[in-house]
Amino acid sequence: MTGAGTGAQARAEVTGAVHLARQAAAVRGYAPGAATAPLVVPFTVWARRRLRRAGVLRPARARDAVWGPAPAGAVTAGAHVLVVAGRLAARR
Question: Which pLDDT score is estimated for 82?
Answer: 92
What are 48-62's pLDDT values in tens digits?
A: 889 889 988 877 788
Write down the pTM of the prediction.
0.40
Cα 31 to Cα 47: distance, rounded to the nearest angstrom: 25
Residue 89 CA to residue 92 CA, distance in Å, equals 5
Residue 9 — very low, low, confident or very high, per pLDDT cuts 50/70/90?
Answer: low
How many Cβ atoms are within 10 Å of 41's Cβ, its own excluded? 19
